[in-house]
Homo-oligomer: A and B are copies of this chain.
Amino acid sequence: MISDFSAKLNTCRDCSEKSCAAAILHAREIDLIRENSRATEFRKGDIMVHAGSMTSHIIYLKSGLVKEYVKGANEKEQILQIVSKFTYLGLPSLFGDRVNHYSYAALTDVTVCYIDVNIFNQLIRDNGNFAYEILISVSRDSLNNFHRFMSQSQKKIFGRVADAIIYFSKIIFEQESFELPFTRQEFADLIGLSRESATRVLTKFKDDGILSIDGRNISILNPEMLIQISKHG
């Protein structure tokens, strides 16, 4: 973590990286956040939160990409999702037992705000509209996780890789060309495959002219075909 002595100077009121939910807050509520939050940064590769630790602050992601993951029994990593900016991390854990159920690690350099959980809870109780926005966010997450779950449990490896590529293209990067922010192993962990299988499918897609692949750089050449594969398998 990079220490940041100017942190307390953050001015939430006109922060350009404010969340949709925070946009709803009254000026005095924003000030309450300002007085009880702290901006900081993480470097690519840093572990931000360990699963199992207690939550004292909620983390708001201002910029960068973060992976949400857990380690299973056999130390096998399952990546739950890639989180991009303007998102609160670990909301479901906050409203449960206050123990973080997931780990978070920075995939790129990242800037965040720590907000005291008691203040955050207070805002939810005091401002139903804020609570409503948070509910929307938690719900969207829940549905997304479910869709990933269905992809993993019902589709074969070609369908799953297709889903992952579509996910990056549409949701994360909003482009047909992008650079995967991680290794093949992590790509495999995201969709619950072995590294070798993931590789094999990617090369197959390359050979079939569906993708152009150069290391971590991927371009979708045939989006229709990709959608077909996603649907079928």
Q: Please list the residues of chain A having a beta carbon within 8 angstroms of any beta carbon in chain B.
A: 70, 72-74, 76, 78, 80, 91-96, 101, 121, 124-132, 134-136, 138-143, 145-146, 149-150, 152-155, 192, 231-233
Q: Residue of B at shortest CB range from A130?
A: B128
Given A78-B154, A126-B128, A153-B192, 12 other A-B residues pairs in contact with their CB atoms under 8 A: A73-B232, A92-B139, A92-B142, A92-B143, A95-B139, A96-B139, A124-B128, A124-B132, A124-B135, A125-B128, A131-B131, A135-B135
Residues of B within 8 A of A96 (CB): 136, 139-140, 143
Can you list 22 A-B pairs, Cβ within 8 angstroms, ordered by A? Answer: A72-B154, A73-B154, A74-B154, A76-B154, A78-B150, A78-B153, A92-B140, A92-B143, A95-B136, A96-B136, A124-B128, A124-B131, A125-B132, A127-B128, A128-B130, A134-B135, A135-B135, A138-B138, A138-B142, A145-B149, A152-B153, A153-B153
A130 to B129, alpha carbons, bound, how many Å? Answer: 12
Residues of B within 8 A of A80 (CB): 146
Min CB gap A113→B, angstroms: 20
* A232: B residues at CB distance < 8 A: 73
Which 3 residue pairs across A and B have the least CB separation, nearest first? A131-B131, A95-B139, A92-B139
Report A71 CB to chain B, min CB distance, Å: 10
With A78-B154, A135-B95, A152-B153 in contact, do A145 and B146 touch (Cβ < 8 Å)?
yes
Q: How far is the CB of A106 from chain B (nearest CB, A)?
A: 21
Please name all residues of chain B whose beta carbon is closer than 8 Å to the beta carbon of A101 when the two chains form the complex: 143, 146
| CB proximity of A119 to chain B, nearest CB, Å | 14
Q: Could you tell me the distance in whole angstroms from the C-beta of A229 to the nearest C-beta in chain B?
A: 12
Beta-carbon contact of B131 and A132 below 8 Å: yes
